[in-house]
Amino acid sequence: MYRILVTGSTGQLGLSLKHTAQDFSDLHFDFKSSNELDITNPNELAKALITGRYDFCINCAAYTNVEQAEKHPDLAFKINAEGVKYIAELCRDQNITLIHISTDYVFDGEKKGPYLVDDQPNPINVYGASKLKGEQFIQKIIPNHFIIRTSWLYNKKHGHNFYRTILNKAKAGEELRITDDQKGCPTDTEALANFILKEIVSANKPYGIYHYTNGEPTTWYGFAKQILRENGLEETANLVLDRNYRTLAKRPKNSVLACQ
């Protein structure tokens, strides 16, 4: 029976892994929230990884607020890069396979078609740069790793995400001003959790970088329309296409990932 540590377990992917874990009775899980296990604290991390006798570590802990990362780059790099470095070193020393969740934002969005795993990253915001640095630490430090790049994560039942925000605002009768100048693939965390446990942990795939999404390429505006349609709100919601929408962080115009 594999023993698996999941960090950042109260995030939407961590919660989805906890739910999906019920279907994998042959795996033993230890779920740790960021409050229970701080990946930026080497001593705390070492104690957990050395005593846990784990076979896998699924790192879901991350600083994911793209806008706030521009204001607090040191914190973003501390969690997304330095914390990942500590995990990689300890996993290497304890012979633990590291499964790390990364992002489409490692790319600049200038490519016309979907991004392949071996395309050259070139992040255009702090969040993407911090996540890329984490990837680079892993590749340098530990051979037995999986880096899973994914995009536009959402869960219909929990977490702060685009799907739930659109749905709640529509039900409240609020105006929805959404841009269509970014293209990507929405990814349900339940599907991603199943991919991690079924295709990565249980299938003995080769180590390396993987891309995973389970939605069709669309814009944020297109995704909003899909959400409203799924919930019978398309005719009543006040959805407005906003081509003047501005954010502090630059966003890649195309971050569609080509999946294996």
pLDDT in tens, 87-132: 999 999 999 999 999 999 999 999 999 999 999 999 999 999 999 9
pLDDT of residue 159: 87
Average pLDDT on 209-219 reads 96
CA distance linking residue 255 with residue 37, whole number of Å? 31
Rounded to an integer, the average pLDDT of 197-224 is 95
**Domain map of the chain by residue range?**
2-155+188-211
User: What local confidence, expressed as pLDDT, does residue 250 receive?
Assistant: 94
Q: Which residues contact 158 (CB under 8 A, 6 or more apart)?
A: 12, 15
Q: Across the chain, which distance is largest between two alpha carbons, in Å?
A: 57
* Annotated catalytic residue 127: yes
Strand order in the sheet with 56-59: 27-32, 2-7, 56-59, 97-103, 145-150, 208-211
Upper half-sphere CA count for residue 49 (Cβ side, 13 Å): 28
Does residue 260 register a pLDDT over 80? no
β pairing state of 183-184 and 218-219: antiparallel
Q: What percent of the chain has pLDDT over 70?
A: 100
pLDDT value at residue 10? 96
Question: Rounded to an integer, what distance in angstroms lies between the CA atom of residue 236 and that of residue 173?
Answer: 9
pLDDT for residue 44 is more than 90? yes
pLDDT in tens, 9-41: 999 999 999 999 999 999 999 999 999 999 999
Catalytic residue among 54, 105, 127, 221: 127
Q: Which residues contact 25 (CB under 8 A, 6 or more apart)?
A: none
pTM of the model: 0.96
Helix (H) or strand (E) holding 166: helix 162-171
Nearest residue to 48 via CA among 34, 67, 65: 34
CATH of range 2-155+188-211; options 1.10.760.10, 1.10.357.10, 3.20.20.210, 3.40.50.720: 3.40.50.720
Which amino acid belongs to residue 73? P
CA-based R_g, the chain, Å: 18
Which band of pLDDT confidence, cut at 50, 70 and 90, is reported for residue 246?
A: confident
Report the pLDDT averaged over residues 188-202. 96
Distance CA 249, CA 68 (A): 9
Residues 6+ apart with CB under 8 A from 91: 49, 57, 97, 98, 142, 144, 145
Report how far residue 149's alpha carbon sits from residue 170's, in angstroms, rounded to the nearest whole number.
30
